[in-house]
Amino acid sequence: MAYKKPESALVVLYDQHHRVLLLQRKDDPTFWQSVTGALEEGELPIETAYREVAEEIGIDAKAHGFKLKDHCKQNKYEIRSRWLHRYPPGTVFNTENVFSLQIDSALPLVLTEHLQYQWVSKEQALARLWSPSNKEAVSLFVPSVP
């Protein structure tokens, strides 16, 4: 098994109504999150962000004219113990690059790595998200309803 690189992209997705897209993990149904994934060898964080959106929800953002916003923010967090085996031995921390993306919620989503998705209010997202860095990104980068 190839180890994951301990650097990732987090993409907070929201729609034209300022609702946040939440994804329920298959390997931990109590864990709701935004799109996220590890950088592949030679990949820039923004490339990872676009790739992960396409892989996890089936939306080619560039083809739809959606532009990722790079918040030039990195979070460093301790990797959950249940996932440490995915990283090189001795790796404890991951560096996360934060992005956001507004998409049209009328577009059909195709899930490949999650059980289900829900469009929820910003407040509901903040209450349900597991990851502190994901909560912070929603809080900071999803516009409030006017």
Domain boundaries, the chain: 7-141
pTM here is 0.94
Structure tokens at 69: 């916003």
Binding-site residues for substrate sit at: 4, 25, 36, 131
Binding-site residues for Mg(2+) sit at: 52, 56, 113
Binding-site residues sit at: 4, 25, 36, 52, 56, 113, 131
Element (H, E) at 39: none
The pLDDT of 16-23, averaged and rounded, is 97
Q: Are 144 and 19 in contact (CB under 8 A)?
A: no
pLDDT confidence bin for 144, thresholds 50/70/90: confident
Structure tokens at 52: 């992960």
pLDDT confidence bin for 98, thresholds 50/70/90: very high
Q: Are 15 and 104 in contact (CB under 8 A)?
A: yes
The DSSP symbol for 15 reads -
Domain boundaries 7-141, CATH class: alpha beta
What's the rounded Cα separation, in Å, for the pair 45 and 123?
A: 27
The pLDDT of 71-100, averaged and rounded, is 96
Q: What is the pLDDT of residue 118?
A: 98
DSSP labels, 79-134: PPGGGGGGS-TT--EEEEEEEEEE--TTS----SSEEEEEEE-HHHHHHHB--HHH
Over pLDDT 90: what percentage of the chain?
93
